[in-house]
Amino acid sequence: MKAPAFDYVRVSSVNEAIALLQTHGDDAKILAGGQTVMATLNMRLSNPAVLVDISPIAALKRIAVQGNTLHVGALVTHSEIEASGVIREHAPLLSMAVPHIAHKAIRNMGTWGGSLAYADPAAEWPACAIALNATLVAQGPQGVRKIPANQFFLDLYTTALAADELLIDVEIPIRTPQQVVAFNELARRHGDYAIAGIAACAQREGEVLRDPRFVFFAVASTPFQATKAQAVVNGKVLTNSVVDEAVNALRGELEPLADLTSSSATKLHLSTVLLQRAIHALSAGH
């Protein structure tokens, strides 16, 4: 199918983009890498009057460390994350996750900010952002505000961004020497969206994991942080019985949404497998 007719405006600053969002309200849509927007237009699932192309805004393309914070700008592409030594050093969870996102051609165009703003519950980046305790930086007519990742994803394809706000940057605490991370997903074919996935992070002290974060994706309408399973693991020496207890806690707190190919029971079973693998990977110190 072909996209419906729309106006197209290419902007070179955040302020220009915000002004257009204010003028056009719900009739405007941001275009970043276009890997989701163009598909929804072509399938006539959305019908904006004007597309605001933010891809020329150089200020949103930086990967930089300032003090103890890694900044990843909204227009950084998935491929740039994949190639970045700075990200491998300071946020290795992102380097582990990125090969699972679609295929190379899509990763070359699609952006980190576009994925976070779109808030697909099966996407990898929202779960990673929560696992890494990231803060999302939004800019609107009133200025800049910061939103913790665990408060950003409100519902299916729904975020805390206002209609006239742009996601401009993400702040990630840089890796501490004790930080261990794990990422895993189960998909029908490599590059497909996951049936179930996990992004995990913890501080390892000897045989003990502290402050573990287990964030599942593709199982609910938003990323799902398994707080009960986290509490079981936190501060304990990891024995088989602790892992079993964490799996039972997950069964008690997660009731996955079925999708076209997988039932809720299948997703729950896969999530328990992913949790066990993540705990073992974290305790092995990756």
Ligand X SMILES: Cc1cc2nc3c(=O)[nH]c(=O)nc-3n(C[C@H](O)[C@H](O)[C@H](O)COP(=O)(O)OP(=O)(O)OC[C@H]3O[C@@H](n4cnc5c(N)ncnc54)[C@H](O)[C@@H]3O)c2cc1C
Taking CB atoms, the residue at the shortest distance from ligand X is: 110
CB of 173 to ligand X, least distance (A): 21
CB of 123 to ligand X, least distance (A): 3
CB of 73 to ligand X, least distance (A): 9
Q: Which helix (H) or strand (E) holds 237?
A: none
Angle, to 10 degrees, between the axis of helix 240-253 and the axis of helix 264-284? 140
Report the candidate in 124, 96, 121 with the shortest Cα–Cα distance to residue 110: 124
CB of 110 to ligand X, least distance (A): 2
Positions of E strands within the chain: 7-10, 28-31, 50-53, 63-66, 69-73, 135-140, 143-148, 153-155, 158-159, 166-173, 179-186, 196-205, 208-217, 224-225
Q: Which is nearer to ligand X, 124 or 180 (CB)?
A: 124
Q: Which is nearer to ligand X, 154 or 265 (CB)?
A: 154
**What spatial distance separates the first Cα and last Cα of the chain, rounded to whole Å?**
45
Q: Which residues bind ligand X (CB under 6 A)?
A: 29-37, 39, 74, 101-102, 106, 110-111, 113-115, 117-118, 123-124, 161, 166-167, 193
> In angstroms, what is the C-alpha Rg of the chain?
19
Q: Which is nearer to ligand X, 49 or 242 (CB)?
A: 49
CB of 48 to ligand X, least distance (A): 8
Q: Which two tokens stand for residue 15?
A: 């302020």
Q: Which is nearer to ligand X, 39 or 284 (CB)?
A: 39
Q: Which is nearer to ligand X, 73 or 212 (CB)?
A: 73
Q: Which is nearer to ligand X, 165 or 213 (CB)?
A: 165
Contact in structure between 111 and 101 (CB atoms under 8 Å): no
Q: Which is nearer to ligand X, 212 or 223 (CB)?
A: 223
DSSP per position, 9-57? EE-SSHHHHHHHHHHHGGGEEEESS-TTHHHHHHTTS---SEEEE-TT-
Distance CA 48, CA 59 (A): 26
Residue 72's Cβ-count burial label (10 Å; 0-12, 13-18, 19+) is buried
CB of 40 to ligand X, least distance (A): 8
Backbone torsions φ then ψ of 94, nearest 5 degrees: -65, -40
CB of 250 to ligand X, least distance (A): 23
